[in-house]
Structure 1
Amino acid sequence: MLSALASSLTPILLLICLGFFLGKKTNYLESPSLGALVSNLGLPALLLYSVLSMQMQVFSMLKIISATVSVLVLAGVVSFIFLKSLKLPTQFYLPPLVNPNTGNLGIPIAYALFGNEGMAIAVVISSVVQISHFTLGVGFMSGSYSVKQLLKNGPVIALVVGALFLSFNLSLPAPLMNTLNMLSHITLPIMLMLLGKSLSNLSIQDGKKIYRAAALSFFRPFVGGLSAILVISVFPLTHLESSVLVVLSMMPVAVISYMLATKFKGPTDEIALMILISLPLSLCSAAAVWWFYLS
């Protein structure tokens, strides 16, 4: 158990540390084009490659998608009420609480804990959450939203194309799949190093911000796990599907939330701190669910 978690977590922590070092000592990560490269090219390539690579029936995929959407909606309602009770603005704080890190952390964790079948389920869940990042996340943080913006969104287009290919049992030629795979590999390192750069610029002198970030970090896995448990009680999911959904719903604040906050001039230092604090909390929660699944 510990070795599986360490195997998934160590590369992530090392890349964050590398970004931290580069942010302190160099200007390699200063270009705003790095974030755009990941959002507009890396993420769609990763999403399309993952969907086209998995072996899953369309009905099973739609069932998992529906359950994931239900979890996000329920978590969104509860988080909205929670933020209003604390008199915190929902514009920048709601998306990080609703959308967990199901991609660069959730998928490796699902593979380590549940094997190939669990990873395939995690890819579907992560695809839905990616769309939520660029609909709910962009809509709230930018202060505006339009259907036209959604239709131009790379991850949304990638998921739709992938679903159509699965429905008609089509596949891309091997050279194109290899190209998508290579493009997708740029996503995780850049995202994690940009996170490390943000952590290198954190100011820990403002105690109010630290306490607020800590409180929201504790709330993130709690609201995600609670929402998932309520949803699986009414959805006809298998035991494995339910377990993966709960684990991924309890993942920490996502790096994409930090990237969007940077783009729309939000509280990047607080969101970066939320990512850091919520990480060990989420891993402990995932370990508990894994233990329950095997017992």
Structure 2
Amino acid sequence: MFSYRHSFHAGNHGDVLKHICQMMLINKLKEKDKGFEYFDTHSGAGVYDLQSQEALKTLEFKQGIERLAIDKNSHVLVNQYHELVTAYQKFNQYPGSPEIAKSLLREQDKLTLMEWHPQEVKNLKQNLNGKNISIHHRDGFEGLIALTPPALKRGLVLIDPPYELESEYEQVLQTVCKVHKRWATGIFAIWYPLISERKTDENSFSTTNSKLGKSQSLITSLSQQPFKNLLNIELCVTSPSDFGGMYGSGMVIINAPWQLDVNMEKSLQQITPLLAQDSGASFKVEWLIEG
């Protein structure tokens, strides 16, 4: 249960997609002066050492952030992300989603972080602090249900579990649906992996054993809910392989703000060729529920 450490994967192509999307959502919330609350259900350590034993074992950041050669014509959000990441790379570090959120939030905003791994929550508390930051050593699914709706009516939830357990896909669905009923105005951003070939044509949690099948079942189930809107974004850096492995990832957004689709498409047009590992690299931005 406590085997997953994001330090093995920090700065990979999944992080690039997730964190560009996260920054774009926070920027949209900041367009209004009134404060909002940011929730991170699986916070990890907050900041990662790219020279750590874990990072050097996989070298996944070399297929992610190290491929981002940004020029003056890049989308403003891609430039913002690259500028932020570069500041940490100078110290051989990569900022996780809690650190990115901290760097963007204002005095009137709140940051609520949850992490269940005993060592990671210690690292998180060492790496992040501040009067508007609340760190909880608890299961992120349980914590999100317990801590919502927040006093601040506006807000963003980032959900990106490790998906090591097959039950986590269904936990995401159940948790989001339960919280959304009580906090319908919140923005929910859910990251999911695209791993290996799908092993069955059945599209349900109970009948598919592949992680790709589980991801697709999660998206299908979310698209059947009574949300105002639902936007799906995927980035594939290579073609699916018979040998398995993560060939891409996605973000599905509930209550996606205006023009998120347009801006993410422009960003992905620029970063997909940079992250591409072969001719199979691609991206898509699609509305599953149009509001």
| TM-score for the superposition, normalised by structure 1 | 0.23
Q: Which has the higher strand share?
A: 2
More RCO (CA 8 Å, sep 6+)? 1
| TM-score for the superposition, normalised by structure 2 | 0.23
Q: Which has the higher helix share?
A: 1
